[in-house]
Amino acid sequence: MNRLTITDYIKAREGRNVSDIYIYFTEGYSPIAYGKSALLLEKHFPQFCVKRVLDSDNKEYFAVWGFPLEEVLKKFEGHHQMVDDKYIQFIDV
């Protein structure tokens, strides 16, 4: 099983997430989604491979990474979005 560092910021955000998709960016600006966001992405893009990963506390999370961001942007272009240098949020997907 893969091990990832998941920050408390991301854990808190995903812990209260119901219907939004948060896509975060790694240091190399590769997209990655965790928890409910990863599962919502898989619902809309069954070809994305969601995996179970362990964080530094040995807790299990869902995650998906290495997916083509352009497809996601195109599919959700009509949804409300919030964007900054750390993540993109698609609201009420």
pLDDT in tens, 37-87: 999 999 999 999 999 998 888 889 999 999 999 999 999 999 999 998 889
* pLDDT tens, residue by residue, 21-32: 999 998 777 899
Can you give the chain as a three-state secondary structure string? CEECCCCHHHHHHHHCCCCCEEEEECCCCCEEEEHHHHHHHHHHCCCCCCEEEECCCCCEEEEEECCCHHHHHHHCCCCCEEECCCEEEECCC
pTM, two decimal places:
0.88
